[in-house]
Every structure is written in C-alpha cells, then in structure tokens.
C-alpha cells in the first residue's frame, strides 16, 4: 500500500478510537450514563473542581433499541455488558487498523537482517 492510504487508515483508526472511547462510559454505566449515575467521586470532582463531565442522557434511545435487540436475541440481563463488549471490540479493531497502517513498513524494514554476499 502507498503511504497516502496508510495515512488515511491511521487517521480513520484514530478518529474511530476517540469516538468509541467517548461512548465507553455510556456502555460501562449500563447504557444510562446521565450525570446522576456517575460514581460519587466523579460527581464530586465535577461539582467541586469544575471538571466538565459529559451527560449521555441524549443516548437513551440507543439504550432502548439495544436492549430490545438483546432481549429478542435471547439475552437475559446485564445488557450494558454487551454494549461494553461491542464498543471495546470496535475500539480494538480500529486501533489495529491504525497500528497496521502506521507500523507495518517500518517494522518490516527494521526486522530484516542484511544478507552478506
């Protein structure tokens, strides 16, 4: 592959990782990551030190769609674990694309030993 395609793949992989990472708290908190469901220490940081925290209340429609799909597929409980596993898998896939695009050519050149004639 050319360097242009590798650069594009690396950028796409990086952007996907950032977007998926931003959705992780939603999945970790059982697909309801509104401010009242954040851990107490994190709420304390937000209130007392003015640390901005995202409010994922606007993603509640995704939670209901995801839960309905999981119930239909036969899942019984802990639907947030399924969402977390899906997002974690997508993050690993996106990072693998970025790593492969950035490090493939350099890694091959450094590991090949010169042949003596």
Residues 9-44 have pLDDT tens digits of 778 877 877 777 777 777 777 767 677 777 788 788
Question: What count of other Cβ atoms lies within 10 Å of the Cβ of residue 65?
Answer: 11
Let me know if residue 95 belongs to a domain: yes
Judge whether 32 and 63 are in contact, CB under 8 Å: yes
Per-residue confidence band for 94, with pLDDT thresholds at 50, 70 and 90: confident
> What pLDDT score does 34 carry?
73
In a domain, 114, yes or no: no
| Percent helix / strand / coil, the chain, rounded to 5 | 75, 0, 25
Looking at residue 16, its pLDDT comes to: 79
Q: In this predicted structure, what is the pLDDT of residue 104?
A: 57
Phi and psi (nearest 5°) for 101?
A: -70, -40
Q: Is residue 109 part of a domain?
A: no
- The verdict on residue 55 lying in a domain is yes
- Cα–Cα distances in Å, from 10 out to 4, 16, 56, 98, 105? 10, 10, 28, 4, 13
Dist. CA 75–CA 84, nearest whole Å = 14
- Domain count of the fold of the chain: 1
What is the residue range of 39's domain?
3-104
* Residue 109 pLDDT class (50, 70, 90 cuts): low
Average pLDDT on 44-58 reads: 78
Residue 110 lies in a domain: no
Task: Report pLDDT for 82.
Answer: 80
**Residue written as tokens 């674990």?**
81
Position 96 in a domain: yes
Residue 112 domain-assigned? no
The CA distance from 87 to 97, in Å, is 15
- The pLDDT mean for the chain works out to 75
């Amino acid at each position: 592959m050319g360097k242009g395609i590798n650069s594009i793949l690396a950028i796409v992989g990086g952007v996907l990782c950032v977007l998926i990472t931003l959705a992780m708290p939603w999945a970790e908190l059982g697909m309801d990551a509104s401010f009242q469901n954040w851990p107490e220490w994190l709420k304390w940081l937000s209130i007392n030190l003015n640390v901005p925290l995202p409010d994922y209340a606007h993603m509640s429609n995704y939670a209901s769609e995801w839960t309905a799909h999981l119930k239909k597929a036969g899942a019984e409980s802990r639907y947030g674990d399924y969402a977390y596993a899906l997002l974690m898998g997508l993050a690993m896939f996106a990072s693998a694309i970025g790593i492969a695009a950035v490090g493939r050519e350099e890694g091959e050149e450094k590991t090949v030993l010169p042949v003596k004639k």
